[in-house]
Amino acid sequence: MTWAPLLRLQEALGPQAELMIVGGAVRDELLGRPHADWDLATKLLPQAVMERARTAGLKVIPTGLQHGTVTVILEDRPVEVTTFRSDGDYLDGRRPESVRLGVDLIEDLSRRDFTINAMALPVGGGDLVDPFGGRTDLAARVIRAVGDPLQRFGEDGLRTLRACRFASQLGFEVEPATLAAIPQRLGVARKVAVERVFTELDKLLRGAEPQRGLDLLAQSGLLDLWLPELRPMLGCGQNRHHRHDVWVHTLEVVRLVPAESGLRWAALLHDAGKPGTRSIGPDGEIHFYGHEDYSLEIAEWILERLRASHALRKEVAALVRHHGTHPTEAWGGPACRRFLGRLVEEGLPLDQWAAFGLADHLAKGLDLEARLVEHDRMLSRLGALAAARPPLALRDLALDGGALMKLADRPGGPWLGELQRRLLEAVLDDPAINTPERLAELAQRNLPNN
Ligand code: ATP
Ligand code: MG
């Protein structure tokens, strides 16, 4: 089960080191799940880890000595080795005031958040150390706090979010007493730094069962701390095109889109504007006029507040903005090319937009077969048009800005942009005219008079 280079480290540190694989690595190994890193723990103090590893010719970086952590490079991979430690008092709901090194393994395991994260496996071989029943909880697919959940969530509010995130990633239930403790600890959860909140929400969204994690956020009240704009989606009834209310539909879209940040965040936020734009027409039909724009606004507030990256915000905005566009048979070539041009302008690949659209359709929960056929037909049409590589953006024009200035014999200015847009419109209508000669001709006719 262990990774061979770990044995080399074990040899370097000696048998007294009690080198253990701990935390997420043990959990994921037992589940047969891939994991990004190996978390190791040892009885040795950091100085001794550094000395012995260096003596054995290993590269060592003192990354977090005050927390007992040393990073050892094994076959070009950084591996964190942390001295068994216990946490001092938690005064701010975020991190302990102090940590105490040199405790025993069981005490180290007892500070960890959930039973499934509180097991240790000796690197050199030997029995699993599992003082809190983590293995049983893994088999039962349960997330259970180590010790009293009220106390554990009171120490560190991040754990409440981690519970929901693991539920999503692993498809596990949160054990009832653990879940029941979250609403009572929202005051502590509120103090978690926004960057960590974003990281947890992002992992939750990219999990295998994101609908489970989102449902837990809503049930426990965590949703109201970080995504309060979404609460009105729960129970917001829709019209005859939908089987589900806005929230249930949203969870379905999140589940159905590929597990990438941009798609998952866009799925979560794409209909956030619906409750606020809901109206009932004279015929009794329910409408959500302008909800795409309002959803876009809400998405931008939320992602800005959570300090999401510019790239993510841009991708989500493009997906939300265009989620209501449904090219139909009735659209001619020019309309399709204009739409493709918008996607190019916003840097949104066609297949990304299509993956989102398909999930959104299917999540309506009605006429699935017909929706699939319609989607395929529309996508192959757009795909065929795009494959012909028609000019779709200003940079595709057969005459660039320099050529147009020369032609007009005047320096650049607002006239140039205007002219380029006109040329692009003409080229979108008929790609065949995108030659230097024909564009020059057209430009001559459209040059400003003075
Ligand atoms: P992943 O790496 O997938 O995020 P993980 O369980 O490995 O999951 P890490 O943040 O890497 O999580 O932490 C490693 C281990 O440290 C955890 O498995 C857990 O034992 C412990 N741990 C991490 N964060 C906390 C916390 N906030 N409170 C208590 N223990 C924690
Ligand atoms: Mg980890």
Q: How far, in Å, is the centroid of ligand 2 from the Cα of 114?
A: 13
How far the first Cα of the chain sits from its last, in Å, is: 79
Give nearest CA residue, ligand 1 atom 30. Answer: 112
Per-residue confidence (pLDDT) for residue 1, from 0 to 100: 52
Is 362 within a domain? yes
Q: Is the dihedral angle over the CA atoms 93, 173, 184, 232 positive or is it negative?
A: positive
Closest listed ligand to the CA of 26: 1
Nearest to 321 by CA among 302, 344, 346, 340: 346
Nearest to 258 by CA among 213, 202, 208, 302: 208
Q: Which of 113, 161, 202, 204 to mutate to test the pocket of ligand 1 (most atoms within 8 A of CB)?
A: 113
**Ligand 1 closest atom vs CA 158:** 27
The helix or strand, by DSSP H or E, that contains position 60, with its residue range, turns out to be strand 59-64
Residues 377 and 316 in one domain: yes
Residues 260 and 203 in one domain: no
Q: How far, in Å, is the centroid of ligand 1 from the Cα of 189?
A: 17
Per-residue confidence (pLDDT) for residue 272, from 0 to 100: 96
Q: pLDDT band for 226, please (50, 70, 90 cuts).
A: very high
Q: How far, in Å, is the centroid of ligand 1 from the Cα of 163?
A: 11
Residues 122 and 171 in one domain: no
- Secondary structure (H, E, C), the chain: CCCHHHHHHHHHHCHHHCCEEECHHHHHHHHCCCCCCCEEEECCCHHHHHHHHHHCCCEEEEEEHHHCEEEEEECCEEEEEEECEEECCECCCCCECCEEECCCHHHHHHCCCEHHHCCEEECCCCCCECCCCHHHHHHHCEECECCCHHHHHHHCCHHHHHHHHHHHHHCCEECHHHHHHCHHHHHHHCCCCHHHHHHHHHHHHCCCCHHHHHHHHHHHCHHHHHCHHHHHHCCCCCCCCCCCCHHHHHHHHHHHCCCCHHHHHHHHHCCCCHHHHCEECCCCCEECCCHHHHHHHHHHHHHHHCCCCHHHHHHHHHHHHHCCCCCCCCCCHHHHHHHHHHHHHCCCCHHHHHHHHHHHHHCCCCCHHHHHHHHHHHHHHHHHHHHCCCCCCHHHCCCCHHHHHHHHCCCCCHHHHHHHHHHHHHHHHCHHHCCHHHHHHHHHHHCCCC
Q: Which of 1-5, 41-45, 438-442, 443-447 is predicted least confidently?
A: 1-5
Residues 382 and 256 in one domain: yes
Which amino acids bring their CB within 6 angstroms of ligand 1?
A: 23-24, 39, 112-113, 117-118, 156, 158-159
**Ligand 1 closest atom vs CA 118:** 20
Residues 381 and 409 in one domain: no
Residues 201 and 304 in one domain: no
What's the CA gap between 162 and 200, in Å, rounded?
7
**Ligand 1 closest atom vs CA 109:** 20
Percent of the chain at pLDDT exceeding 70: 99
Is 85 within a domain? yes
Q: Which of 390, 407, 429 is the last residue of a domain?
A: 390
Q: Is the pLDDT of residue 90 over 80?
A: no
Q: How far, in Å, is the centroid of ligand 2 from the Cα of 26?
A: 10
Structural domains counted in the chain = 4
What's the CA gap between 12 and 9, in Å, rounded?
5
Closest listed ligand to the CA of 117: 1
| Beta pairing, strands 173-174 & 142-143 | parallel
Instruction: Between 403 and 326, name the one with better pLDDT.
Output: 403
Per-residue confidence (pLDDT) for residue 313, from 0 to 100: 98
Q: pLDDT band for 92, please (50, 70, 90 cuts).
A: confident
Give nearest CA residue, ligand 1 atom 17. Answer: 23
Is 370 within a domain? yes
What's the CA gap between 263 and 257, in Å, rounded?
6
Q: pLDDT band for 215, please (50, 70, 90 cuts).
A: very high
Residues 160 and 211 in one domain: yes
Structure token pair of residue 208 = 């295998």
- Span 6-24, average pLDDT: 94
Q: pLDDT band for 6, please (50, 70, 90 cuts).
A: very high
What's the CA gap between 148 and 240, in Å, rounded?
47
Structure token pair of residue 107 = 């005490």
Is 57 within a domain? yes
Structure token pair of residue 265 = 């965040």
Q: How far, in Å, is the centroid of ligand 1 from the Cα of 244?
A: 36
Per-residue confidence (pLDDT) for residue 450, from 0 to 100: 53
Q: Which of 198, 226, 254 is the last residue of a domain?
A: 226
Residues 377 and 429 in one domain: no
DSSP state of 65: G
Closest listed ligand to the CA of 199: 1
Closest listed ligand to the CA of 166: 1
Residues 324 and 410 in one domain: no
Q: How far, in Å, is the centroid of ligand 2 from the Cα of 252?
A: 28
Q: Which of 18-22, 32-36, 324-328 is predicted least confidently?
A: 324-328
Q: Is the pLDDT of residue 321 over 80?
A: yes
- Domain at 219, CATH number: 1.10.110.30
Q: How far, in Å, is the centroid of ligand 1 from the Cα of 8?
A: 25
Ion ligand 2 — residues with CB under 5 Å?
24
Q: Which of 109, 134, 159 is the last residue of a domain?
A: 134
Average pLDDT over the chain reads 93
Look up the domain containing 276 and give its range.
246-390
Q: Is the pLDDT of residue 122 over 70?
A: yes
Is 250 within a domain? yes
Per-residue confidence (pLDDT) for residue 304, from 0 to 100: 98
Is 237 within a domain? no
β-pair partners for 120:
22, 129
Q: Which of 47-51, 237-241, 422-426 is predicted least confidently?
A: 237-241
The predicted-structure confidence for 342-372, as pLDDT tens digits, reads as follows 999 999 999 999 999 999 999 988 888 888 8
Is 180 within a domain? yes
Per-residue confidence (pLDDT) for residue 2, from 0 to 100: 66
Nearest to 164 by CA among 108, 119, 219: 219
Q: Are 143 and 137 in contact (CB under 8 A)?
A: yes
The predicted-structure confidence for 94-110, as pLDDT tens digits, reads as follows 778 778 888 999 999 99
Structure token pair of residue 228 = 């309060």
Is 407 within a domain? yes
Give nearest CA residue, ligand 1 atom 28. Answer: 113
Residues 323 and 360 in one domain: yes
Instruction: Between 242 and 274, name the one with better pLDDT.
Output: 274
Residue type, 268: L
Q: Is the pLDDT of residue 70 over 70?
A: yes
Give nearest CA residue, ligand 1 atom 10. Answer: 24
Per-residue confidence (pLDDT) for residue 129, from 0 to 100: 98
- Domain at 46, CATH number: 3.30.460.10
Residues 85 and 219 in one domain: no
Residues 166 and 287 in one domain: no
Closest listed ligand to the CA of 145: 1
Q: How far, in Å, is the centroid of ligand 2 from the Cα of 128?
A: 18
